[in-house]
Structure 1
């Protein structure tokens, strides 16, 4: 092992404790909304805010991949910025999520093939 590599070893018991803990936490979070509140009507103000959840999640998942792309070890990449800009432009003009995603994937693949 050279100086740039690090080795992390976990014993089996620690791994299973983490897996079970995450499973319990995930179940508890879902149960809080579905099991405890699922059969009640939500207030209008809450439903209005929940409509924007999906719109906020996709950019939150994509932004780190554009700003710190893994293929360049976190260095800014013109290819990733361009693909993101094209995707945003198509989404804004067409209001079609699937077409925007296909444009983003195609432009990223095409630009990587041509420039990368």
Structure 2
């Protein structure tokens, strides 16, 4: 049940983020849920591998490479999915920042308890 709630909340975060960031368009809430799942899967698979390969550089840049990898995963999902479109790197970077802020706000409101 917790997983379903997290998926729905992440879909809401993507939907709100797409409405706030210029250069990002999304068809609807259902598309936002699918985009959120695909972004999470891309970050968990391809993003994880890239983070391992770029660890020394990521360490030296204090996590900037990790942020760029997250932006690239958003661009990847935008390219493979219809109904979710991001106009370039800077729109994806701004979307990644907005998603992180909104997710942190939701986490603070809901209270993330570690079981």
* TM-score (ref. length: structure 1): 0.30
TM-score after normalising by structure 2? 0.30
Structure showing the higher strand proportion among its residues: 2
The structure in which a higher percent of residues are helix is 2
| Structure having the higher Rg | 1
